[in-house]
Structure 1
Amino acid sequence: MASPLRSAWREVPPSRVRHFARLALDEVPVLAEDIFREIRREYPNLVIVPDESGEPVALVGIRRALEHFVRDVSDVSDGSGGPREHPQVFQEFGRGQVQHGRSLDSLQAMYRLGVRLAWRRLAEIGQQVEIPAPAMYELAESGFEYLDGLVAESMRGYAEAAARQAGERLRLQRRLLDLLLAERPRKSPADADALAERAARIGWPLPERVAVAVLLRPAREALAPAVGRDVLLDMECEQPRMVLPDPEEAGRPELLRRATAGWSGAVGPPVPLAEAAKSLRWAAAAVRLMERRLLPAGEVLHCTEHTEALVLLPPEELIDALARRRLAPLAGCGPAQGRRLAETLLAWLETRGGAPEIAERLGVHPQTVRYRLRQIRELWGDEVEDPDRRFELELVLRARRLRGDLLPPSA
């Protein structure tokens, strides 16, 4: 027990207390064997680990715990009682649960079974040496306090082992991510072997296809997204990275949406496993556009749903150079007139429809559209009939609309 026995035991003659403790200690080896045998019967899948002498560690722990508890009784009688440390082997039991992938529930159930069996035998000995009932009641209460101490020791060992295991898995996972997301012109068979080896060490089945996400933290101390163990997540980066296996599998997008609630970011396109770096590249490009407010923030968006923006907005210098050449005819127009003509030209290029259809798209009168189209033909001449020139005009005008320089269609 972890604290001196209470007043009822102090009223028991010391000689009787010592007699009780001596009989109980004599009983410990047999009692420990009985408890160990009953635990093995109740839990046939229990892994038995021997110590250096070949004796089961669990049996040694049971015996030490019983000796430790019974000695507290005799210590109280001679005034030397006080708090004791519980046998450290119970920390090892907690660590063992982590190593074998089990929770502490079964271990606590074994402890309770052992306490019940031990109390039954101690009660018989107490009756034999005429220990008063109040003292035995206190002994039972102390037994459950002692059980709590053993559980606490196991929890400490469990937590330490779980933390070490989690830290080791994170380290191995980062090594896997570094290899998986490395930009290389061609990945060799040696790379594939290294990838398989690193994945096996963390129990990550290699998928055929993946999508890579880049996240923006909602706050410095934000909790990590609640993704499953099949998702590789690196929270050590300024912008966390996430590798989603089999992203096109049914239900995967919905699971991702729930797991990343409150986060912003982008998921790159699905690619073969060996090309994961390509998916990362597109996700990173989308995040840069989000930071510039050119793509919507507040959620984790999918690059495949924003292809136009990702194709037209990142190569700014190229698009701007092309725009200066193809939109040169607007140089003599004022800003407002130039914008209206550009919007009308884009609507015509996108629809190739007549004035009524373009007017509906722009939210203006058809006669206004006819007037603007005449101006456009005067400014660009035959260029608007050349397929290549029309394509380039549509590219630069769509890019301007994506940047917010032109209004979207009213339809």
Structure 2
Amino acid sequence: MAPAQPAGRADRELPWTSLPPALTPLLVPHLPEVAEELLDAVRLDVPVYARPLEGVFGDSIRRGVEVALTRFLQLPGTQQPALMGDDRRVYEGLGRGEVREGRPMDALFAAYRSGARTTLRSLSRVAMDAGFEASVLIGLAESVFAYIEELSAASAEGYALEQSERAGERDRLLDALADMLIRGHVVEDSVRSAAAAAGWPVPERVVVVTLDADRRVGLRSRLGDRALLTSRPGDVVAVIPEPASPTACREMERVLMGRGAVIGPGRPWYAAPDSLRLAVMTRDLLQRDEPAGNRPLWVSEHLVELVLNSERSVVEDLAAQRLAPLDELRPGQRERLGATLLCWLEHHGQRAAMAAELNIHEQTVGYRVNQLREVFGESLNDARTRFELELVLRAGFR
């Protein structure tokens, strides 16, 4: 038995407690005709339910009406809640069904209101014909609308649960799709089937972004539905359609600002592993001492450094060959001449530009260049030698 409640509160929350139990046997025989009137009214009042009540859709609507009316007529004179157990699950199921049908809750709520009006009109007519007083009719009206509120609440809960579960399932599908792409799953039919199941349009080209694992919070919502996210040990990986314009690039920078992100080069979707490989290589090879608030690092802006650092031992061998003439110099002199040589190569020997960059007088520039010619001799006249010298000096060798 339900615990006793103050009369005022019980009357306010459960208005059917004041209804005479004699209403139930009086109204039960009329349920079939009330149900048909209700269904006809809903089809007329709510256009989305105007279609024939067939299949799963028709079964669920008829079942909802049957359960609603049967349960309601069990309530007069009791303190029972509007819905219990299986009955409540019926209306949660109707809410879930609206999500599956792709509709907002407005239509179902409108159907409940229409059904309440029809039910009240039909039941009130029977009660009046039986001689019940106006106070009973008022209590009946209060009970019907309180009952409909409970049905609406149960359906709203089912709707929310279905949305939540679907969002979680979609996130799982998107994560799995991201994992397929970055692992190099190149069976196109499989990828496109997985993308269709996740509701993700496959772009022609993508960029792959890597960032620290602790920077994932809030990233999915900021990147939007077109981004795929997955986690790996130590980092988070995002697969994103390649930005198609400078504006789109700036927007991506804004979203990734301060997250320590490295953005791989654009590749066809089936070559996403290559974009990831270069992003990771760039992250590992380039020392990043920038503050956390700085812009993300674009691999496309560091291709030379990537080339120079990807085979460091080979560049070391080349540096040993090309910079051997400096080996006999004192460390300070070697450093100065190395910087002057790189500046000379970059500015094609223009003394004014070299003096400005090195912050020395033009005569000093001339003196150092003469020293370089003495050290390197005729090799500075060879285009290939100059290219290799610039390459190893840009790689940081002196």
TM-score category, normalised to shorter length: 0.7 to 0.9
Q: Which one of the candidate residues 264, 271, 280 is aligned to 1:268?
A: 264
Is residue 217–residue 264 contact of structure 1 (8 Å, CA) maintained in 2? no
Q: Which one of the candidate residues 348, 354, 359 is aligned to 1:358?
A: 354
Is residue 207–residue 241 contact of structure 2 (8 Å, CA) maintained in 1? yes
Is residue 177–residue 228 contact of structure 2 (8 Å, CA) maintained in 1? no
Query: What percentage of aligned pairs have identical amino acids?
Result: 33
1:36 deviation in Å? 3.0
Report the residue type matching 2:327 in the other structure.
Answer: A
Q: Which one of the candidate residues 48, 60, 63 is aligned to 2:63?
A: 60
1:375-390 map, 5 Å: 375-390=371-386
1:124-139 map, 5 Å: 129-132=132-135, 136=138
SS in 1 for 2:201: coil
Q: Which one of the candidate residues 6, 10, 26 is aligned to 1:6?
A: 10
1:73 to 1:327, Cα distance in 2 relative to 1, 3 A = farther
Report the residue type matching 1:61 in the other structure.
Answer: G
> CA separation in 2, counterparts of 1:113 and 1:101?
21
Structure 2, unmatched stretches of 5+, are: none
Is residue 264–residue 278 contact of structure 2 (8 Å, CA) maintained in 1? yes
1:88 deviation in Å? 0.9
1:1-400 map, 5 Å: 6-7=10-11, 17-46=20-49, 56-76=59-79, 81=80, 84-85=83-84, 86-121=87-122, 129-132=132-135, 136=138, 140=142, 145-183=146-184, 191-219=187-215, 221=217, 223-235=219-231, 238-248=234-244, 251-289=247-285, 292-293=287-288, 298-400=294-396
> CA separation in 1, counterparts of 2:99 and 2:223?
21
1:42 deviation in Å? 4.0
1:118 to 1:301, Cα distance in 2 relative to 1, 3 A = farther
> CA separation in 1, counterparts of 2:108 and 2:15?
36
Give the TM-score normalised by structure 2: 0.79
Q: Deviations along 1:25-84, whole A, 9 cap, x unmatched?
A: 4444433333333333344334877578x95211221331233234222324xxxx4574
1:279 deviation in Å? 1.6
Is residue 8–residue 138 contact of structure 1 (8 Å, CA) maintained in 2? no
Q: In angstroms, what is the RMSD of aligned CA positions?
A: 3.9
SS in 2 for 1:234: strand
Report the residue type matching 2:59 in the other structure.
Answer: P
Is residue 229–residue 238 contact of structure 2 (8 Å, CA) maintained in 1? yes
1:239 deviation in Å? 2.0
Is residue 217–residue 263 contact of structure 1 (8 Å, CA) maintained in 2? no
Q: Deviations along 1:153-209, whole A, 9 cap, x unmatched?
A: 33443344334433443444344334433358xx6xxx2232233223323333322
1:214 to 1:220, Cα distance in 2 relative to 1, 3 A = closer
> CA separation in 1, counterparts of 2:174 and 2:327?
55
Report the residue type matching 1:72 in the other structure.
Answer: L
Is residue 215–residue 259 contact of structure 2 (8 Å, CA) maintained in 1? no
1:19 to 1:111, Cα distance in 2 relative to 1, 3 A = same
Report the residue type matching 2:244 in the other structure.
Answer: E
Is residue 61–residue 87 contact of structure 1 (8 Å, CA) maintained in 2? no
More helix by share: 2
Q: Deviations along 1:223-242, whole A, 9 cap, x unmatched?
A: 53423333322246642222
Report the residue type matching 1:371 in the other structure.
Answer: Y
Is residue 212–residue 283 contact of structure 1 (8 Å, CA) maintained in 2? yes
1:305 deviation in Å? 2.4
1:377 deviation in Å? 1.9
How many residues align? The count is 387
- 1:409 counterpart residue number: none
> CA separation in 2, counterparts of 1:363 and 1:126?
103
Structure 1, unmatched stretches of 5+, are: 407-411
1:339 deviation in Å? 2.9
1:318 to 1:119, Cα distance in 2 relative to 1, 3 A = farther
1:126 to 1:340, Cα distance in 2 relative to 1, 3 A = farther
1:129 deviation in Å? 1.6
